[in-house]
Amino acid sequence: MGRFYITTPIYYANDAPHVGSAYTTVNADALARWHRLAGDDVKFMTGTDEHGQKMADAAEKNGKSPAEWTDLMSERFREAWSALNISYDDFIRTTEPRHYETVQKFLSVIYENGYIYKDVYKGLYCVSCEDYYTLEASDNGSCPIHHRVLTEMEEENWFFQLSAFEDRLIEFYDTHPGFVTPETKRNEAYSFMKGGLKDISITRTSITWGVPVPWDERHVFYVWYDALINYLTVIGYGRDDEEVARWWPHSNHLIGKEILRFHCVWWPAMCMAAGLEPVHHVHVNGWLLVGGEKLGKTMAAEGGVKVSDIEPIALSQEFGVDPLRYYLLRETALGNDGEFSLEGIAARYNTDLANNLGNLVARVAAVVSSKCAGVGPLPQSDSTLRAVAEATTAKAAEAWENFAPQRALEVTFDLVGATNAYLETHAPWKMEPGSAVDAVMGDALEAIRLVTILISPAMPSVAEEIWRRIGLRGAPDSGPFGAVATWGLYPGGPVEKGASLFPRITSEL
């Protein structure tokens, strides 16, 4: 049995979640569910990032203290993740005492190791990014992501000696080829390091909303510098060495591409400075775009999109939780950018879910009812569907293992299509009841059983419903995959017709 520790970024709690934050979270959830199905020991965490200037500003704008505001917003994230059936094991808030404890311990080790020093910092700052930009990297003095004018900041700060890690980082990348995936994103991080690393300012005196620096109480840590450490807080760094040893070698961060530099350059260097092996693996996802621009709350605030069109709970109410999850997993390869639209969700829904999967389950139930007295027959060991099904389970498993939910679902739905084609070739609805019909229907039910297991990380509720309708006991995700995803295990059972799983979307959106 393997181990799998998967994390999402901790989202800024200055505002409520949107479908971009849901994108990474749903993908991480499906990967966690896949690994549980595969029989691995899994820890899956998400949470909220609650310090920094941006948070303090948002609280003030809303007439609340930062603590009151983050309480409210953090709760919105929990509500959204509960609505989307996100199976996290831990939800961290960076304002929790356990996080302060871990941050202070971890950074004290780096300080004692001599990698932190005091200096004056002057630069152009974007509060939305909580990050400095050089003039060259800016868009004529504005933030290239948020298009807001950057502010000039000058502070006496504590600095982390990132430059001391340039060679070690490059060597680490050279000896750990799978550290960052996909390859294009790995190359981006690599060329950034090759371009030379500057030390980074890691504390602030201009604000008090942050984790206090233990050796200099006038300062709080810069929000990014505390945030990254959350991945260690959750596994008990500074409190439970065994848990750290248990999970850290199996750690995987799923992050959006705009925070690559923090996770793929700063963070491994910070770990090295603290005498800890860097995170095992970082997978970088692309952006959901609207009209070519990164989808986000700023877009809604500026009137580019309707808030309800990018709000996870509203979307799940409109399309169903599992169809929304399916769309987020299936539409775009995890690593690429993809255009997001309501029409896109509806098209995916109608083509894959209504016409392909829903149709298969409905027609099998109808034929079993009319030709097999409502009882699902056993599959044949020499079915022509068997080779397709076996190739599918192998390909889908490989794709899930490789952080490719889109590919896993693509091949799974090819099996759905092949099963529909198998039915059309044999046309059991034209046959008289008897062994020939039973053989075809047993095979189709076995293919559906395998499909149901394979879709369970993506659409857990739909999978449970199909599982029940075809008369199976237990749950589609109980695994272990290697034992249950073998052709021939459908034991027969009462098959229920039931209402349409995915009524076609015909209305204008």
Contacts to ligand ME8 from residues 238-267, by CB under 6 A = 255-256, 258-259
Stretch that binds ligand ME8, among 8-16, 59-67, 101-109, 343-351 (CB under 6 A): 8-16
CB of 89 to ligand ME8, least distance (A): 18
* 4, 5, 23, 327: residue in contact with ligand ME8 (rule CB under 6 A): 23
Tell me the window of 17-25, 77-85, 378-386, 497-505 that interacts with ligand ME8 (CB under 6 A): 17-25
Q: Tell whether residue 389 is a contact of ligand ME8 (CB under 6 A).
A: no
Q: Which is nearer to ligand ME8, 11 or 327 (CB)?
A: 11
Query: Would you give the binding string for ligand ME8 spanning residues 30-59, x where CB under 6 A is met?
Result: -------------------x----------
Q: Is 346 in the site for ligand ME8 (CB under 6 A)?
A: no
How do strand 293-294 and strand 288-290 relate by DSSP bridges?
Answer: antiparallel
Between the alpha carbon of residue 24 and those of residues 86, 90, 230, 323, 363, the distances in Å are: 11, 16, 17, 16, 35
- Which among 133, 458, 192, 160 has a CA at the least distance from the CA of 327? 458
Q: Which of 5, 11, 34, 487 binds ligand ME8 (CB under 6 A)?
A: 11
Task: Determine phi and psi for 181, rounding to 5 degrees.
Answer: -125, 155
Positions in 277-296 near ligand ME8 (CB under 6 A): 285, 287-288, 294-296
Query: For residue 216, which of 107, 96, 95 has the smallest C-alpha distance?
Result: 107
59 near 66, Cβ under 8 Å?
yes
Q: Does 210 bind ligand ME8 (CB under 6 A)?
A: no
- In this structure, is the dihedral angle defined by the CA atoms of residues 489, 493, 497 and 498, taken in order, positive or negative? negative
* Beta carbon nearer to ligand ME8, 251 or 285: 285
Note whether 50 and 93 are within 8 A (CB): yes
Residues in the chain: 509
Q: Among residues 444, 399, 395, which one has the least CA distance to residue 419?
A: 444
CB of 289 to ligand ME8, least distance (A): 7
Using CB under 6 A, which residues numbered 401 to 430 contact ligand ME8? none
Handedness of CA 453, 454, 457, 458 (dihedral sign): negative
Task: Kindly tell me which of 197 and 328 has the beta carbon lying closer to ligand ME8.
Answer: 328
Q: Is 332 in the site for ligand ME8 (CB under 6 A)?
A: no
Site for ligand ME8 in 55-84 (CB under 6 A): none
Out of 12, 100, 400, 413, which residue is the one contacting ligand ME8 (CB under 6 A)? 12
Pick the binder of ligand ME8 from 21, 332, 419, 456 (CB under 6 A): 21
Where on the phi/psi map is residue 52: left (φ > 0), alpha (ψ -120 to 50), or beta? Answer: left
Is residue 270 close enough to count as binding ligand ME8 by CB under 6 A? no
Question: Tokens at residue 500, please?
Answer: 């349409």
Minimal distance, residue 258 CB to ligand ME8, in Å: 6
DSSP 358: I
Q: How far apart are CA 398 and CA 264, in angstroms?
A: 25
Candidates 9, 312, 320, 479; binder of ligand ME8 (CB under 6 A) is 9
In whole angstroms, what separates CA 309 from the centre of its chain?
Answer: 20
Q: Which amino acid is at 498?
A: G
Given the complex with ligand ME8, which of 166 and 258 has the nearer CB atom?
A: 258
Residue 21 CB, nearest distance to ligand ME8 (Å)? Answer: 5
With binding defined as CB under 6 A, does residue 305 bind ligand ME8? Answer: no
Residue 322 to residue 434: CA distance in whole angstroms: 37
Of 296 and 376, which CB lies nearer to ligand ME8 in the complex structure? 296
Q: How many residues bind ligand ME8 (CB under 6 A)?
A: 22
Query: Which residue, among 369, 469, 367, has the nearest Cα to 423 in the 3D structure?
Result: 367
Contact 48, 95 (CB under 8 A): no
| Residues contacting residue 119 through CB under 8 Å, at least 6 positions apart | 156, 157, 159, 199, 201
Determine, following the binding rule CB under 6 A, whether residue 126 of this chain makes contact with ligand ME8. Answer: no
Chain residues that interact with ligand ME8, rule: CB under 6 A: 9-12, 20-21, 23-24, 49, 227-228, 230, 255-256, 258-259, 285, 287-288, 294-296
